Amino acid sequence: MQLDCVIRGGTVVNADGVSSADVGIVGEKIVALGSALPAARREIDARGRLVMPGGVDSHCHIEQVSSFGIMCADDFHSATVSAAFGGTTTVIPFCAQHRGDRIPEVLADYHRRAAEKAVIDYGFHLIVANPDGDTLARDLPEAIETGIRSFKIFMTYDRMRLHDEQILDVLMTARSHGALVMVHAENHGIISWLAGRMVGQGRVAPRYHAICHTRSSEAEAINRVIALAEVVDTPILIVHVSTIEGVAAIREAQARGVKVYGETCPQYLFLTARDIDRGLEGAMFCCSPPPRDEAAQEACWQGLKDGALAVYSSDHAPYRYDASGKLPKGEKTTFKEMANGVPGLELRLPLLFSQGVGSGRISLPEFVNLTATRHAEIYGLSAKGRIAPGCDADIAIWDPTRRVKIDAALLHDNTGYTPYAGRELTGWPVVVLARGEQLIDQDAAPGVIRAERGRGRFLARERSDALRPAGQVIPEVAQLSQWGDSL
């Protein structure tokens, strides 16, 4: 067979192991893995380099309006360009329903904007803020039919949060039609009550944000939503887990047989609340939940190691340090008014590689699993996240020795700063292919991306194993005959 491209002489890393192999590509697909593959039209020399699946970032906010009505700094072009430079070749951002929005219109709007601009492939999750009768009976099942197989729900934020009965409704719909429910788990009452007191006392600096979002608020909400998921035996995924207690609650539930997945993000491994404690500039480190302390970082690392946390995503939520984002009221902005979130699409992989693989905390296969393979498995993208015949040729070739000092000017998103400025990382993606097209070659053309706007494709996601109920209905509920098979 005439190969279009061979990546020759590299070390191929998959979630199940490391091997020395050439990778043969025809068109958009990987077709062969082996030694001494025949000459191809295009040859990429990967000697001394790691050949890894492009990252799959299953949690990022792109061209999305927050519940405060603030548009984030990246559109589908800048965000996907930034992702590609960081070695990520698939993203799953959110289509956000706000109260009063109709879901079909929300979806059409995001589809249109992404199709015009994305340079890498993308799926969508759907944020559900208004689970009324039509939404549950018609709009969510229809969205699932189109391959949007995950919903995000919030337990906090005045304009987004669902109460327990609404959460049960969404869980039941997800169970019946095959979707995963992602949960922003923080106790609203604790946070808003504390924030009200702080603001009343004139304590309005960013550091009070971290104080109001207590560890207990995360722990309570995670435990509560796990209890709700158990009632209807529906798999859930807790996003952006940040605390010792949160990781422990997920691990305990998993040990009981509950199907609950966890996610953590760079900000919970590499930042602490001390980063926020620098006056107004702390706003650049403010996200929800907030970074905690070294012990919490350790718990998150441990969770990634033992599977309590299945995936490591960016939660890229970019807001500029100006009136368009973090500081709507300039220097008078209180922590309650500033947009929540930090950028991370481009540095997600380099940070974990340098600090995780480089320090020996995680192995290369674990790195690939946490950044690509597990995302693809859980979110139903069987052609992504692996270097294997039949998979899409989405590949990042890494120079494991390249040292890079982080500076916002190096990055390609529109945030204008990075919380990781000044850090020295070792290991960097130098060549990036997406469905066989070489988008980036940092050796031949540093800082250049060759990718047509809109080349990225929408990915209708499959019904993955993660969506299958555990088969563990609590006995009292199982006896309710009217629920019968629908449970």
Residues 264-303 that bind ligand DUC (CB under 6 A): 287-288
Site map (CB under 6 A) of ligand DUC, residues 138-177, x = contact: ----------------------------------------
CB nearer to Zn ion: pick between 184 and 259: 184
The interface partner of residue 209, options being ligand DUC, Zn ion, none and the CB cut-off 5 to 8 Å by kind, is: none
Q: Which two tokens stand for residue 349?
A: 């992989």
Site map (CB under 6 A) of ligand DUC, residues 300-319, x = contact: ---------------x-x--
Are the C-beta atoms of 448 and 440 separated by less than 8 Å? yes
- Pairwise CA distance, residues 352 & 300, whole Å: 12
**Contact call for residue 207 and ligand DUC (CB under 6 A):** no
Helix, strand, coil shares, percent, the chain, to 5: 35, 25, 40
Among 153, 171, 198, 239, binds ligand DUC (CB under 6 A): 239
User: Shortest approach of ligand DUC to residue 342 CB, angstroms?
Assistant: 8
Rg (C-alpha) for the chain, rounded Å, is 22
The residue type found at 475 is P
**Contact call for residue 240 and ligand DUC (CB under 6 A):** yes
Tokens 């106790």 belong to residue = 187
The interface partner of residue 355, options being ligand DUC, Zn ion, none and the CB cut-off 5 to 8 Å by kind, is: none
- Pairwise CA distance, residues 264 & 221, whole Å: 16
User: Shortest approach of Zn ion to residue 67 CB, angstroms?
Assistant: 10
User: Shortest approach of ligand DUC to residue 240 CB, angstroms?
Assistant: 5
Among 235, 303, 341, 429, binds ligand DUC (CB under 6 A): 341
The interface partner of residue 50, options being Zn ion, ligand DUC, none and the CB cut-off 5 to 8 Å by kind, is: none
- Pairwise CA distance, residues 113 & 63, whole Å: 8
Site map (CB under 6 A) of ligand DUC, residues 55-84, x = contact: ------x-----------------------
**Contact call for residue 340 and ligand DUC (CB under 6 A):** yes
User: Shortest approach of Zn ion to residue 6 CB, angstroms?
Assistant: 39
User: Shortest approach of Zn ion to residue 249 CB, angstroms?
Assistant: 17
User: Shortest approach of Zn ion to residue 100 CB, angstroms?
Assistant: 20
Q: Which residue is nearest to Zn ion (CB)?
A: 184
- Pairwise CA distance, residues 421 & 406, whole Å: 5
The interface partner of residue 125, options being Zn ion, ligand DUC, none and the CB cut-off 5 to 8 Å by kind, is: none
The interface partner of residue 162, options being ligand DUC, Zn ion, none and the CB cut-off 5 to 8 Å by kind, is: none
- Pairwise CA distance, residues 61 & 67, whole Å: 12
CB nearer to Zn ion: pick between 224 and 453: 224
Burial of 484 (0-12, 13-18, 19+ CB in 10 A): exposed
- Pairwise CA distance, residues 319 & 297, whole Å: 24
User: Shortest approach of ligand DUC to residue 64 CB, angstroms?
Assistant: 9
Around Cβ 75, how many Cβ atoms within 10 Å? Answer: 17
CB nearer to Zn ion: pick between 92 and 327: 92
If phi > 0 it is left, if psi is from -120 to 50 it is alpha, else beta; for residue 202 that is left
Are the C-beta atoms of 230 and 252 separated by less than 8 Å? no
CB nearer to Zn ion: pick between 8 and 292: 292
- Pairwise CA distance, residues 452 & 437, whole Å: 11
Residue in 412, 385, 364, 464 with CA at minimum distance from that of residue 56: 385
Tokens 């207590």 belong to residue = 214
- Pairwise CA distance, residues 474 & 471, whole Å: 10
User: Shortest approach of ligand DUC to residue 182 CB, angstroms?
Assistant: 9
CB nearer to Zn ion: pick between 309 and 357: 309
Q: Which residues bind Zn ion (CB under 5 A)?
A: 184, 315
CB nearer to ligand DUC: pick between 58 and 288: 288
- DSSP string for 216-274: HHHHHHHHHHHHHHHHHT--EEE-S--SHHHHHHHHHHHHTT--EEEEE-HHHHH--HH
Residue in 458, 459, 430, 453 with CA at minimum distance from that of residue 79: 453
User: Shortest approach of ligand DUC to residue 239 CB, angstroms?
Assistant: 6
Residues that contact ligand DUC, how many (by CB under 6 A)? 10
Q: Which two tokens stand for residue 407?
A: 């500076």
User: Shortest approach of Zn ion to residue 318 CB, angstroms?
Assistant: 11
The interface partner of residue 371, options being Zn ion, ligand DUC, none and the CB cut-off 5 to 8 Å by kind, is: none
Residue in 338, 287, 323 with CA at minimum distance from that of residue 59: 287
- Pairwise CA distance, residues 260 & 309, whole Å: 9
Residues 7-36 that bind ligand DUC (CB under 6 A): none
The interface partner of residue 340, options being ligand DUC, Zn ion, none and the CB cut-off 5 to 8 Å by kind, is: ligand DUC
User: Shortest approach of ligand DUC to residue 340 CB, angstroms?
Assistant: 4
Distances (CA, A) of 346 to 91, 161, 174: 12, 29, 31
| Residues at the interface with ligand DUC (CB under 6 A) | 61, 184, 239-240, 287-288, 315, 317, 340-341
